[in-house]
Structure formats: C-alpha cells, structure tokens
Amino acid sequence: MATDKFEATETPTFEEYAALAEFRHALRSFIHFSEGAARSVGLPAQQHQALLAIKGRGSAPATVGWLAERLIVAPHTATELVARLADSDLVQRQPDPTDGRRHTLVLTQKAEDALSRLSEAHLKEIRLLAPQLTAVLRKLAGEAR
C-alpha cells in the first residue's frame, strides 16, 4: 500500500529504473485492455472494478464502506457509484440483517453475466502477460540490495 512517507535510502540502479519502467508499462497495458473490455460490454471501468470487488468478496457481505476502502475512493464516491450500479440493475441494496443502519450489496444476474464474460477475457489476457510480469518482478526482487 502506498504511504505518505516515502524515503529513498539508495539511488536505484539503471537496471532497476528499466525494470520499473517495464513493470509500469505492463500494468498500463493491462489497464488499457481492461478499460476497453469493460466499455465493450457497456460498463465504465470503475463499475467493472466495483462488480469484480463485490464478486470477489464471496459470502462476506459487501457494504458501501467496504467498497470505498477496496476501490480506494471516498465513501461519498462509493455511494454515488453504488447508486449508478443500482440504477443500471447491476446491484441490489439489501438491508443488513445484523446492522439496520447499513445495506449489503448483491450482484444481479445482469451483473453476473457481464462479469463472467469480462473475467474470462481478463484471465486470457493475464495469461498472455504473465511471463512478462513474472520476469520483471523477478528482476525487481532479485535486485534487492
């Protein structure tokens, strides 16, 4: 997780700079792919990310507060995102049986269908990128001093 206190203790080597640049390029390539795939099924990237987070939560209840933390957004931003998802029939808000002040988020069948198609495509893309990512991560881990 990122921190506000970043203190460099040693100047990176040229190889580390190159590996970091390669790593960021691979991440950006994947994000570019992901955003395009989400658009192809009519979803903004942030909505796709929210649906995936909720699905990945499994049986544990997903709440707006949890979603805000998971997406690293402000709670009011997550509230607005959930409202758009609900308006698009992608999530349903259900009263939390253990805490009447909050709601849990449940994916609709429409969301499940879109997420299934997107996840299949993403897994294929990740499997294509895996050798490149693995190699660059090994370079970065191996360069530790």
The tens place of each residue's pLDDT in the chain, 145 residues long, gives: 455 566 767 888 999 899 999 999 999 999 999 999 999 999 999 999 999 999 999 988 999 999 999 999 999 999 999 999 999 999 999 998 888 888 999 999 999 999 999 999 999 999 999 999 999 999 889 844 4
pLDDT at 6: 64
Residues 6+ apart with CB under 8 A from 112: 55
Report the run of H or E that residue 92 belongs to, with start and end: strand 91-96
Which pTM was predicted? 0.86
How far is the C-alpha of 136 from the C-alpha of 42, rounded, in Å? Answer: 33
pLDDT at 145: 41
Domains of the chain with CATH codes: 14-27+41-142 (1.10.10.10)
